[in-house]
Structure 1
Amino acid sequence: MFSEIRVATVGVGDLERSQEFYCATFDYAVLGTGTVSGPAAGQLWGLPEGMSAETVLLGPAGATSGLLRLVQFDRPGELYWGDYSRMQDYGHYALNVRVPEIQSAVAAIRAHGGSSRSGPTHWTVTPDLSAWDSLSYDPDRVLLDVFELEPAPGSLLAEYDGRPSPLQTVAIHSSDARRSALFYAALGMRPLYDKVLREMESFFGLPAGTELHNINMMNPAAPDLGRLEIAQYVGFPGRSQRDRAVPPALGILSAALETDDLAAAELLLQAIGAEPAGERVELDLPGLGTVATRSYFGPDDERLEFYERR
């Protein structure tokens, strides 16, 4: 019934600057542009009355999933994560992109207007998968987790075309990783891995002794993109950012999944206790066309869009 994450929507301060950054750094192409406004957009994104947004849809040429929607509102906003001094707070947190070679990718981020937070660090994900992982910022200081994978033959992620990927995952911070995983399992996702990471405090900037419960959820039909990475800082509680992660804020505002039956999707979401974030609406989304769509809040108040193409 549900796809992997098709699109992540990110509020930016300068659309042209951000578009140039992602296209130059990851060789992304423009897949759609346009203006979004009106009551339907208000229901979908929480767009205040009278506000409009210029949008551009980006991804590798030919990609149809794991896409990045950049949105510049006609009023200024601030990054809702602020200076990340409360990085334990909940909600959409980072965009994860796979690259063929980590050092050159980090250099490209810096060269095109981004900055680094944590240099490449090697860690073992599963017995058949390890990674060189890094944390960087885009020009608006939206967090990017850029990584080079070392999969063993036969791993679900072994197939790779050697280019920067679509969005491999969208990361959320959660108050309870297990509860969040159960919610997304009801949407058809399954764990790629589920583990507790220790001694990673310096990489993530966590207080000494904090453990990271990390569950990477995938759609079995598309394990190599559009996944959800759930991160819980065990013993380091945060707070909801629901009231801050709204237009015209900068940062990751929502993640969108496609469905072939929105009415049935609404019934399922109601059954699992998802809270609607707006009414069902129909509108034209640049790069996707006309869709019937509705937003809900996930377990940690992260905004999720579910849409059916018309």
Structure 2
Amino acid sequence: MSERAVPALDGSPLAAAVIGVADLSRSMAFYRDLIGMDVVHAGRWQGRAFERHWGLPSGSAASSALLAASDAPVGRVLLLEFTASARQRVRQPGLARAYGLANLNFYTADIHRDAERLRGAGYRFWSAPVHYDLGPEVGTPIEVVFEGPDDVPVNLVELASTDPATRIGQMRAYVEQHGRTRTGFTPVVTSAQVVRDLERARAFCEQVLGMRLLIDEVLDSPDTNRLLGLPAGSRSRVQFMQGGHPFGKLALTQPLNYACEDLVPRAVPPNIGYVAQQFLVADLQQAAAVARALAAPVYTPAVELDLPGLGRCAAMLLRNPGSGALQELVQAL
């Protein structure tokens, strides 16, 4: 099946998930050795532009590693071990109900095999793999969530549907055609933001990033609540947003009837956890103007600097107005 089975729309997919790490070697080993991603850049990152971009005091630095599972700048993981004496943990292990950046999703060909392998490596799972139905247009996935390094939940997804009339069947065919990592996974295919205002979060994705709505569902079944670690009867509205690649999607999730802890104030450098999402844009000035019209707060203004794996760029940090999550907008120079 050709790539057209899963439309490659115009727009900016997730280029990289930016994670502050407690121990770079340990975290790099997980994504490299267990997930099978390649280290495409590693080094020391410091200097005035680095400090300004991440909002850090003078003298700050970070050891960095950029990992990828394809040649395309999409679905990568950027690990940063910041030098700071007072780093906080963004999220406590086991916390399932929280606003902000939520997880990393990877596709797997055999979820039961991989879950057993990762469990044997010491990773704690929220549940057994859950098989659930998203209807005749979307299809059926099998999913499971476990606690990854640096308290970042990792969601494994097996695409169970084979029917090419379903979105999951189409994506399965795309993955089978384009291959997996040496350990059987993919780049980051989806990453979730738990939002307070779904309309404003979606507007940012559509108008600033050029993404389009792919799936709009209310998840409220016992199976999905067990998967997500939610109480019985919980209802969550989820909108999947897709940019110009089948990978690097965003899952915007709004809790409809349950309370959440707010991770947003702690999800900033130099803390430990999922701190930002990176997107490549063609025109940073134009993207910033659109974001300003949407009242997206600026975290740090645009600055020129060398970014790991990307070279000389202009970049800025904004907050998604619907979730508060940090969004790194990057223009190659």
Aligned equivalents of 2:227 and 2:327: distance in 1? Answer: 28
Taking structure 1 as the reference length, the TM-score comes to: 0.92
Please report how far the alpha carbon of residue 66 of structure 1 lies from its aligned counterpart in structure 2 after TM superposition: 0.8
After superposition, residues 205-216 of structure 1 pair within 5 angstroms as 205-216=229-240
Secondary structure in 2 matching 1:118? coil
> For the residues of structure 2 that align with 1:287 and 1:126, how far apart are their CA atoms?
40
Q: Structure 1 residues 184 and 25 mapped into 2: Cα distance closer, same or farther (>3 Å)?
A: same
- Residue type matched to 1:309 in 2? A
Deviation, structure 1 residue 62 = 2.8
* Equivalent pair of 1:95/1:167 in contact (CA under 8 Å): yes
Contact 2:91 / 2:151 at 8 angstroms: preserved in 1? no
Answer with 36-45 or 140-149: which moved more. 36-45
Match of 2:4 in 1: none
Alignment check: 8 A CA contact 1:121 1:133 kept: yes
Provide the C-alpha distance between the structure 2 equivalents of 1:49 and 1:2, rounded to a whole number of angstroms: 35
Q: 1:190 to 1:246 in 2, by over 3 A?
A: same
Equivalent-residue separation in structure 2 for 1:109 and 1:45 (angstroms): 33
Which residue does the alignment assign to 1:203?
A: 227
Residue 218 of structure 1 pairs with residue 252 of structure 2:
no
Cα deviation, 1:235-254, whole Å, max 9, x if unaligned, reads 21335433211222111110
- The amino acid across from 1:8 in the alignment is A
Contact 1:43 1:280 in 2 (8 A): no
- Is residue 2–residue 260 contact of structure 1 (8 Å, CA) maintained in 2? no
Q: Is residue 2:126 matched to residue 1:140?
A: no
Residues 55-110 of structure 1, C-alpha deviation per residue, up to 9 Å, x if partnerless? Answer: 1000215342110001111235342112344x333110101111111012213323
Q: Is the 8 A contact 1:9 1:254 kept in 2?
A: yes
Deviation at 1:112, TM superposition (A): 4.0
**How many positions carry a matched residue from both structures?**
307
Q: What is the identity, as a one-letter code, of the residue corresponding to 2:155?
A: D
| Residue in structure 1 matching 2:41, options 12, 32, 57 | 32
Partner residue, 1:184: 205
**What residue identity is the alignment partner of 1:193?**
I
Sequence identity (%): 30
Q: Where is the strand percentage greater, Structure 1 or Structure 2?
A: 1
Point out where structure 2 has 5 or more consecutive residues left out of the alignment: 1-9
State the shift of 1:20 in Å. Answer: 1.0
Matches within 5 A, 1:118-133: 118-127=127-136, 128-133=138-143
Check conservation: 1:137, 1:143, Cα contact below 8 A: yes
The structure with the greater share of residues assigned to helix is: 2
**For the residues of structure 2 that align with 1:2 and 1:53, how far apart are their CA atoms?**
30
Deviations 1:189-219 (A, max 9, x none): 1121101011233322223321011111111
Q: Structure 1 residues 210 and 262 mapped into 2: Cα distance closer, same or farther (>3 Å)?
A: same
Taking a change above 3 Å as real, the CA distance of residues 23 and 112 of structure 1, as seen in their structure-2 partners, is: farther
Amino acid of the residue matched to residue 180 of structure 1? A
Per the alignment, residue 64 of structure 1 pairs with 73
Contact 1:43 1:277 in 2 (8 A): no
2:175 paired residue among 160, 168, 174: 160
**For 1:154-182, what per-residue CA distance to the aligned partner results, in whole angstroms no more than 9, with x for missing partners?**
43423113421111011111113343223
Larger displacement relative to structure 2 (176-185 or 63-72): 176-185
Question: What's the Cα RMSD here?
Answer: 1.9
**1:279 offset after TM fit, Å?**
1.2
> C-alpha separation between the residues in 2 aligned to 1:109 and 1:50?
38
> Shift in Å at residue 143 of structure 1?
0.4
CA contact (8 A) 2:94 2:147 kept: no
Find the aligned partners of 1:170 and 1:33 in 2 and give their Cα distance: 23
The structure 2 residue matched to 1:83, chosen from 74, 93, 107, is 93
Whether the 8 Å contact between 1:5 and 1:255 is mirrored in structure 2 is: yes
Q: 2:275 aligned to 239, 253, 256, which one?
A: 253
Which whole-Å CA distance do the structure 2 matches of 1:32 and 1:184 have between them?
Answer: 28
Q: Once the 2 structures are TM-superposed, how far is the Cα of residue 132 of structure 1 from its aligned partner?
A: 0.5
Tell whether the 8 Å contact from 1:25 to 1:108 is kept in structure 2 after alignment.
no
User: 2-side partners of 1:248 and 1:278: how far apart?
Assistant: 14
> Which runs of 5 or more structure 1 residues have no equivalent in the other structure?
none
Quickly say closer, same or farther: Cα 1:239–1:179, change in 2 above 3 A. farther
Partner of 1:173: 194
Q: Secondary structure at the match of 1:125?
A: coil
**Are 1:303 and 2:326 an aligned pair?**
yes
SS of structure 2 residue aligned to 1:270? helix
Does 36-45 or 68-77 show the bigger shift? 36-45
Structure 1 position 147, deviation (Å):
0.8
Structure 1 letter corresponding to 2:194 = H
